[in-house]
Amino acid sequence: MTIRLPGPDGTLRAYTPRAEPASFTTGAPLASRTVFSAAHVVADPLADAGPDAVAVDWDATLAFRRHLWAHGLGVAEAMDTAQRGMGLDWAGAAELIRRSTAEARSAGGAIACGVGTDQLTGPATLAAVRAAYEEQLALVEGTGAQAILMASRALAAAASGPEDYLDVYGHLLRQASEPVILHWLGPMFDPALDGYWGSPDLDAATETFLDVIAAHPDKVDGIKVSLLDARREVELRRRLPRGVRCYTGDDYNYPELIAGDEQGFSHALLGIFDPLGPLAAEAVRVLDTGDTAKFRELLDPTVALSRHLFERPTRFYKTGVVLLAWLAGHQSHFTMVGGLQSARPLPHLARAYELADGLGLFPDPALAETRMKSLLSVYGVDQ
C-alpha cells in the first residue's frame, strides 16, 4: 500500500508507510536528566466558537498529559506549545493550569506551569507588567506546581533597558515561594520578544540574564533557553551558578545538548518532546545507564523531524505537533484553537507525516495512513 504525498513543488510522489510501529515502554520517572514535555491543547471541534474564542476539549487534553506522565516525562503546562498567546488566552491558560495540576496530583506526574503577563491586552506600564506577573505567579504557586517565568511581550514593549528587567525579575524572584525556572524565548518563536533582556545584542542580553540569576541563585531552579544556538547554550550553562540547571529548549540541537560534554549537560524542556514523548523517554532511560552512544543512536534520527516542524516561521510549529497527535490517535480530529491548523501548507504537513512514520511514532500506522489520506482528500489529492 502506498500513499501519494505532495512535495514543495506541487508534484505528487508515492510513499510506502511502515507496517509496524516502533516499540516503546512506559516506566518510572527518568533519573539522569529532568525532562519536561511542553504539551499541546486539544480543541473542541464541535464548539460553536469563532476564531477569537477558546474552546478546549478538556478530557482529550488531560488524557494526553497522562500519556506523557506514563512514559516518565514531566509536563510543562500552559507554555508556547499550548498556543499561549496564539489562541489560548489567560483565562483559558488559568483553567488549563488548574485542571492539569489536579490531574498531575492524581497521576503522580511532575508538572511546571507558565507564568506570564498575557492578561494585558494593550500597552502597559512596568507596574502593570509586574502586577500581571504577580497574579499569575500566585495562581500557579497556589496549585502547588513549579512556576516557569515566561518571557513577556508586555515587558519587552515597556522596558527601556536592562535595568527594567533586573527590577521586574528581581521583584518576582524575591516574592516566589519556591525556586522557579526562567524562560528565555527567542524572537524566532515570538517576534515581539526581540531585544529581550534589554538589548538585541545577544551577548549583552546574556550578561543581563546572568545578572538576574546571580542576584537570586537560591530562587532559580534553572533556565530554559530557546535560542536555537547550541554554542551559545553551552557557553551559558557553563557560567551558571552551582545548583542552577539549564533546561534546553533548542528543538534543533537537543541530542547533543542533553548528552552533554566533560563540563556538563542540559536537562530538557522541549516542545518537540510532545510528539516524541515515548521515544525521548526511551532514549533518556538508555542515557540513565551511561550509554551515551546508544542514546544518540535513538535520538539523533529525530532531529530531521524536529527541524522540519520548527522551520521558519518557527512559531507555527504547533500545527505540526497537533497534526502528529491526531495521526497517532491521541485525538479524534485535526482542529486547533483559533483555527491554527491552517497555519502550515499541505506539503509541510505531508513531510511531517512521512518523517514521523519513518521513526515509528504512530502506534497504529494504518490509522495514521487512513487519517492522512482523509486530510489529503480535503485538499483535493485523490489516492
Phi, psi of 115 (to 5 degrees): -115, 120
pLDDT reading at 261 higher than 80:
yes
Nearest-angstrom CA–CA distance, 322 and 340: 10
- Which pLDDT score, from 0 to 100, does residue 27 have? 76
> Could you tell me the CA-to-CA distances from 354 to 39, 203, 349 in Å, in that order?
22, 39, 9
pLDDT in tens, 95-135: 999 999 999 999 999 999 999 999 998 899 999 999 999 99
What does pLDDT average to over the chain?
Answer: 96
Judge whether residue 323 has pLDDT over 80: yes
* Cβ contact 340:87 at 8 Å: yes
**Single-letter amino acid code for the residue at 318:** K
Contact 325, 82 (CB under 8 A): no
Res. 75: pLDDT tops 80: yes
* pLDDT tens-digit map of 361-374: 999 999 999 999 99
N residues, the chain: 383
**Which pLDDT value is given to residue 227?**
94
Q: What is the 3-state secondary structure (H, E, C) of 217-246?
A: HHHEEEEEEECCCHHHHHHHHCCCCCCCEE
